[in-house]
Amino acid sequence: MESSNNSAPRRSEDIALDLLKFVAAHTNLGSKGASSTGFGPPSAVKPEDQVTQLFELYTRCRVAVESPLPNVAAQK
């Protein structure tokens, strides 16, 4: 039997979190990056700064997800 949760609309918080994961993974935000291999300049980003960046990104994702879509019919 299929769960009723599969047909329920997703919460904007969940969508924003998925967007955060996508952006963070593709920009290497929150990762140590290549500098941990010993090549290149050492990373100057502290863990506290990375957490702050992730919170700021999540806030931006929430705004993007929750903002109303432009009225496409009015543009035509």
pLDDT per residue as tens digits for the range 56-69: 999 999 999 999 88
Distance CA 12, CA 66 (A): 7
Residue 21 within a domain: yes
Q: Residue 68: its pLDDT value, please?
A: 85
Q: Residue 17: its pLDDT value, please?
A: 94
Q: Residue 34: its pLDDT value, please?
A: 45
Residue 32 within a domain: no
Distance CA 27, CA 35 (A): 15
Q: Residue 10: its pLDDT value, please?
A: 87
Number of structural domains in the chain: 1
Residue 48 within a domain: yes
Distance CA 58, CA 67 (A): 14
Q: What is the CA radius of gyration of the chain?
A: 18
Ranges of H-type helices in the chain = 12-27, 47-66, 72-75
- pTM recorded for the entire structure: 0.62
- Report the chain (76 residues): mean pLDDT per 10 consecutive residues: 60 93 87 55 76 93 89 61
Q: Residue 69: its pLDDT value, please?
A: 80
Domain that holds residue 62: 10-27+44-67
